[in-house]
Copies of this chain bind each other. A is one copy, B any other.
């Protein structure tokens, strides 16, 4: 579609673009023969050779003879990213846990540290100290320091500078987390919303891989989402796309902490699941997941107890599908533990209710596959993006 005038391309840009495209292909898709790289990127083999030689010289990839040979003739060499050659630090600031991981090119978690947190009582300064500690420890253990940092927070975070506007379940508001971390670590830092990053991870390495248009919906204490459209994670002004949980679906409904009444979050979030499952108000995440899993064996009971949640889930998803026209909805966080029969029922209801799903004839609803690792792996991707374009 018509986009604003784009910049021209200079000859220098081409080599840089191709090198970045090749590295990104290896990072996302894993080891690949030179021949397949040429075909996938639409470049001739001599260009691929020059690019791969340059990356090998810089120590970013190595080449080896593939173990299995297909067909006759000289085997095409397999190009393998060297995972410790580019390492980023991924940080997941959860409500119950802080995790810091070193992630190498290719997406492998090379090492990690976690701290259990007293629910909603972690201070930004403590996060900064622990990340700095983990960085030193991991760098020593791996013999490779991180080149950049990506951070996931359960709240609204400004993309440009990592300013955390509101993270209600951490009791944070207006915290310059990006600045604090940049000063302490002297590394480029990017901060994103946990649901956005969960969506990014599912798109890069999970249930929404190779899917151009997908909506990721994650329910934990809050409900948020990430939106992939045309193969790209949407950001919007300030990077705030995807506060799906604060779509008002029931104007006469429950009061939400955001100030509105009847936000979707109040009908499909952690509290709503606790109510549906008759769990006490202090039942934690693990208890809710266990109860949801146990219902998988009794579809009738599952349908009965989760009917209300499923109805509101279908109503809100039909709204999201009408606005965004995804071909896939990925359910993350606690919703990934919904019994398969309930998910199938929600899918059927969304297909029936949404005008857009009826028109496109293509809509699937699937659980996330990366589980609680999603936001952490998404934070790593956030950090990798500029690094891979520049190394």
- Which A residues fall within an 8 A CB radius of B? 1-11, 14, 17-18, 21-22, 24-25, 28-29, 40-44, 47, 156, 158, 165-166, 200, 203-204, 210, 212-213, 225, 227, 229-244, 246-251, 258-260, 315, 318-320, 322-327, 352-356, 358-360, 362-363, 381-382, 384-385
Q: What are 27 residue pairs bridging A and B, where the CB atoms are less than 8 Å apart in the complex?
A: A1-B232, A1-B385, A2-B28, A2-B233, A4-B210, A4-B231, A9-B17, A10-B43, A11-B11, A11-B14, A156-B355, A213-B236, A236-B324, A236-B325, A236-B356, A237-B362, A237-B363, A238-B356, A238-B360, A239-B325, A243-B323, A243-B325, A246-B354, A249-B249, A259-B352, A259-B353, A259-B355
**Cβ contact within 8 Å between B9 and A359:** no
Q: How far is the CA of A258 from the CA of B321 in the complex (A)?
A: 14
A320 cross-chain contacts in B, Cβ below 8 A: 323
In the assembled complex, the CB of A347 is this many whole angstroms from the nearest CB of chain B, namely 15
In the assembled complex, the CB of A325 is this many whole angstroms from the nearest CB of chain B, namely 3
Asked whether A244 and B318 contact (CB < 8 A) given A5-B40, A234-B229, A235-B1, the answer is no
**Cβ contact within 8 Å between A319 and B42:** no
**Copies per complex?**
2
**Cβ contact within 8 Å between B356 and A156:** yes
A41 cross-chain contacts in B, Cβ below 8 A: 5, 7-8
**Cβ contact within 8 Å between B25 and A18:** no
In the assembled complex, the CB of A170 is this many whole angstroms from the nearest CB of chain B, namely 15
**Cβ contact within 8 Å between A234 and B230:** yes
